[in-house]
C-alpha cells in the first residue's frame, strides 16, 4: 500500500543544492533524504521507501534521464520530478514521455516547487484513500476477503522465511440470523461492527491482520506468535465481546497453525490452513458455541 505520509528523495551532485532542497522540504512540511548521484539514489531506493524523487537532470556518472528510466522500470509507483537548467538537451515532452510526473527549471521558483510537490502529495493521498476503499469492508472497516488472499500469501512467505509461527483464527458470529429476525438488520449490522471493534482492540496493529470474510465470518492472521499466545488472543476476542453483554450471541472461533509441506505448493498449504481453521470453527459451534477450538492436525504435527 501507498504510504499516507509521503517521503521525498532529493538527488543532485551539488551538495549546496541538496542542502537548500532539504531545508525547503522541511519548510514545506515533508520528510526527505538525499543522494549525491544516481547510483546512490538507486541504492537508497533499494533499502528505503519513497513516494517522490526530485532529481537533477545533468549529473556525473548517471544522469537524471537514466535514473528516471530505472525508477519507471523498477518502482512504477514512485512519482518523479526532474529539475534542469535552461540549457538541457531534453525537452519537457521527452521527460514526461519517459515517465516523469513533472518538470521544473533551474533556478527554480520556491512557490512553483512547493505547488508541484503539493500536487503530487495530494495525488498520493487520494491514491492511498482509493487503495483503502478497495481492500476494506464498508460495514466494519476491517480488511476484506479480497485483501486476505493477498496478505495471507505475504505473511506465510515471511513466516516461513524467518522461521516464525503463523496462526489463522476464523471467527463466526453466533445466531446472527436470529438477531436479524428478532431485532432487524440494523441491529445485526451494529453487532458486526462491534465484532470489528473487538477484534481491532485485541490485536497488534500492523503485526496481526483482521478481515471480514463476508456475512457473519471474520478472519485474523496472527503473526510471530506461539500457540499459547494465539490461544490467549482468541480467548481475549471472546472475553472482550462478552463484556458487551449482547443477548443471544457470541463468537465461535477456530484456530490453526500454518504448516509448510515439502510435497505441496504454497497455495495448497494456504488453502489447507483455511480449511483446518474452518473445521475447528465448526467444531466450536457443534460443542456449545462461544468458544475456541484448536485445529487437531496442528497438534499432530507439533508432536512429530
Q: Which residues of the chain have pLDDT under 50?
A: 1-2, 299-304
Q: Is the domain 143-303 a CATH 1.10.10.10 member?
A: no
Q: Which CATH number fits domain 7-135: 3.30.70.60, 3.40.50.1820, 3.40.50.2300, 1.20.1330.10?
A: 3.40.50.2300
pLDDT in tens, 62-90: 989 899 999 999 998 899 999 887 556 66
**pLDDT on residue 228:** 96
Cα 191 from chain centroid?
26
**pLDDT on residue 105:** 84
From-to residues of CATH 3.40.50.2300 in the chain: 7-135
Residue of 216, 242, 278, 295 marked active site: 216
User: Could you write out the DSSP letters of every residue in 191-215?
Assistant: HHHHHHHHHHHHS-TTTSEEEEEET
From-to residues of CATH 3.30.70.270 in the chain: 143-303
SS3 state of residue 180 = helix
Do the Cβ atoms of 41 and 68 come closer than 8 Å?
Answer: no
**pLDDT on residue 199:** 97
Question: What is the pTM (predicted TM-score) of this model?
Answer: 0.69
- Catalytic residue at 208? no
**pLDDT on residue 88:** 61
For the beta sheet containing 292-294, the strands, ordered from the edge strand earlier in sequence to the opposite edge, are 143-144, 209-214, 217-223, 166-173, 251-257, 292-294
Whole-number Å distance between alpha carbons of 12 and 128: 28
Whole-number Å distance between alpha carbons of 42 and 204: 33
**pLDDT on residue 89:** 64
Task: Report residue 11 as a C-alpha cell.
Answer: 538527488
Amino acid at each position: 500500500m501507498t504510504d499516507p505520509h509521503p517521503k521525498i528523495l532529493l538527488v543532485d551532485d551539488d551538495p549546496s543544492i541538496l542542502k537548500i532542497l532539504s531545508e525547503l522540504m522541511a519548510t514545506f512540511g515533508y520528510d526527505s533524504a538525499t543522494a549525491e548521484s544516481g547510483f546512490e539514489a538507486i541504492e537508497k531506493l533499494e533499502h528505503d521507501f519513497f513516494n517522490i524523487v526530485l532529481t537533477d537532470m545533468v549529473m556525473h556518472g548517471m544522469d537524471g534521464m537514466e535514473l528516471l528510466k530505472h525508477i519507471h522500470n523498477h518502482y512504477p509507483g514512485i512519482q518523479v520530478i526532474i529539475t534542469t537548467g535552461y540549457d538541457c538537451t531534453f525537452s519537457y515532452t521527452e521527460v514526461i514521455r519517459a515517465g516523469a510526473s513533472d518538470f521544473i527549471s533551474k533556478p527554480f521558483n520556491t512557490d512553483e516547487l512547493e505547488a508541484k510537490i503539493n500536487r503530487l502529495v495530494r495525488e498520493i493521498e487520494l491514491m492511498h484513500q482509493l487503495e483503502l476503499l478497495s481492500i476494506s469492508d464498508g460495514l466494519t472497516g476491517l480488511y476484506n476477503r479480497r485483501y486476505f488472499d493477498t496478505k495471507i500469501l505475504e505473511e506465510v512467505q515471511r513466516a516461513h522465511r524467518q522461521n516464525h509461527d503463523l496462526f489463522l483464527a476464523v471467527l463466526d458470529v453466533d445466531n446472527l440470523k436470529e438477531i436479524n429476525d428478532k431485532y432487524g438488520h440494523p441491529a445485526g449490522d451494529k453487532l458486526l461492527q462491534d465484532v470489528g471493534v473487538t477484534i481491532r482492540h485485541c490485536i497488534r496493529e500492523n503485526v496481526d491482520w483482521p478481515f471480514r470474510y463476508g456475512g457473519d465470518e471474520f478472519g485474523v492472521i496472527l503473526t510471530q506468535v506461539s500457540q499459547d499466545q494465539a490461544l490467549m488472543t482468541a480467548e481475549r476476542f471472546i472475553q472482550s465481546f462478552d463484556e458487551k453483554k449482547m443477548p443471544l450471541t457470541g463468537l465461535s472461533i477456530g484456530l490453526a497453525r500454518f504448516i509448510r509441506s515439502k510435497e505441496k505448493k504454497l497455495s495448497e498449504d494456504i488453502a489447507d490452513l483455511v480449511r483446518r481453521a474452518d473445521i475447528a470453527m465448526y467444531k466450536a459451534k457443534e460443542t456449545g458455541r462461544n468458544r475456541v477450538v484448536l485445529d487437531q492436525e496442528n497438534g499432530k504435527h507439533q508432536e512429530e
